[in-house]
Amino acid sequence: MSKRSLNCLFGCLAANSRYCRNYSYKAVRRPDAAILSRKLTAPQVESKPDELQAPNDLTKHLRAKILATGPITVAEYMREVLTNPLSGYYMNRDVFGREGDFITSPEICQIFGELVAVWIVSEWRKLGSPTPFQVVELGPGRGTLARDVLKVLTQFKLAGQFSMHMVEISPYLSKVQAQRLCFSSEIVNDENSSHYLTGKTATGTKVFWHKRLEDVPNAFSIILAHEFFDALPVHKLQRDDKYWKEVLIDVNENNGNDFDNKQQFRYVIPKSQTPVSHLFTSITGETRDCLEYSLDTDRIINIIANRFESDGGIALIMDYGHFGEKGDTFRAFKNHQLHEPLLAPGTADLTADVDFRQIKRVAEENGKVLCFGPVEQGSFLQKMEGEARLEKLLSNTLPENRDAIKSGYKMLTDPEQMGRRFKFFSIFPAVLKEHLKKFPISGFY
């Protein structure tokens, strides 16, 4: 889409601003790889005294599980820590912002969500404006991106033409999202229903909450995923001669029942292969000796590919990640600082960089979809005419808000901050191959 057409779309956006916030974001500094590999046997990250207190419920649960059935995979540990229904990290609290553990791009500045929305409108129109359509967001957090997208689509007078579908595992966060998006909402107690919460926005758009992407109805879908895939469990694999071995997590025997002392878990590498290390096939010419592999990501990408082939749709994945060159990125964040992932599970966010090369490999495997990117966030936002939007906002906002808006936008685009590390990646149906040559994807070219 040309600069002129994008500017035309901007003309439809309201000029008012919400306040831009400026805290630290996660995934900037990675732990030293040497320290991480040493952690396989002896954790090196210093812990603060308040983290060495009596074990929480999740620690007890994980200990009992490992003692009963043996060491667990890093993926299982991650799943329990993040999404255990009773005490998982995401399940019953707000973890974002100054009081939380990290801040994400949509929370930093409204320009982020607005440009994503302009991208949606631009790509949807190029496809002939198929209606009705659904906007699906995977892992919407506080619902800030969804709210900004909803606001812009409503300004484009599309309110009656789409529904919104939030794929959210956290009952707590789904309520936060409903408060942000909806005029009214109600919990659905029917176990046969594909959604567990539903609501209506002030302009009449219907919003549904689902536990899994599988539960979202089949229809033309615009799928957004911002910092979702980095929260999905990863298996950690390590090459041992010509085989892959899986890194597992065991209880820290040396620690015994001395809960006041040191951490309760440690990494181990079993002598034999696990089902995942046995079944995993690396790409020809793989040079890494250790890597992270997310079965959940593969599964979700397969669903997207199948749906796009049958019903059409486009996906925009926004996350930090690499293209198959990194191998050891599993880490934790607490209070905006790196944290030891095996310490006080459930009190810190766990994350791993997204492997975009693996996503492309799985998505394109059966020829159903085509992938584009990853491109750097700074480049995407600039190509989407972010600076023009910034100028417009600045000229219409109160003087006391200007610095926060400017520094928020800088944080999103500066290569030294979030501009280079965060990436945009898109998926389109393969039948559009020729069409996309004529109408290149906005923000990517």
Ligand X SMILES: C[S@@+](CC[C@H](N)C(=O)[O-])C[C@H]1O[C@@H](n2cnc3c(N)ncnc32)[C@H](O)[C@@H]1O
Give the footprint of ligand X on this chain (CB under 6 A).
82-83, 90, 104, 106-107, 139-141, 167-170, 173, 226-228, 231
CB closer to ligand X out of 139 and 419: 139
Residues 31-61 as b/e (b if ≥16 CB within 10 A, e otherwise) read: beeeebeebbeebebeeeeeeeeebeebbeb
Contact 442, 6 (CB under 8 A): yes
Q: How far is CA 28 from CA 20, 183, 331, 351, 411, in A?
A: 20, 37, 11, 12, 12
In three-state secondary structure terms, 296 is helix
Shortest distance, position 54 Cβ to ligand X, whole Å: 26
CB closer to ligand X out of 106 and 443: 106
CB closer to ligand X out of 238 and 417: 417
Shortest distance, position 225 Cβ to ligand X, whole Å: 8
CA distance 444 to 442: 5
CB closer to ligand X out of 225 and 290: 225
CB closer to ligand X out of 244 and 425: 425
Name the CA dihedral angle for 312, 317, 322, 328, rounded to a multiple of 10 degrees: -110
Shortest distance, position 295 Cβ to ligand X, whole Å: 12
| 273: its two tokens | 């292969």
Shortest distance, position 193 Cβ to ligand X, whole Å: 17
CA distance 417 to 108: 12
Shortest distance, position 170 Cβ to ligand X, whole Å: 4
CB closer to ligand X out of 140 and 443: 140
Bridge pairing between strands 331-334 and 337-339: antiparallel
Shortest distance, position 37 Cβ to ligand X, whole Å: 26
CA distance 134 to 150: 11
CB closer to ligand X out of 1 and 181: 181
Shortest distance, position 106 Cβ to ligand X, whole Å: 5
How wide is the angle at C-alpha 108 spanned by C-alphas 336 and 135, nearest 5°? Answer: 115
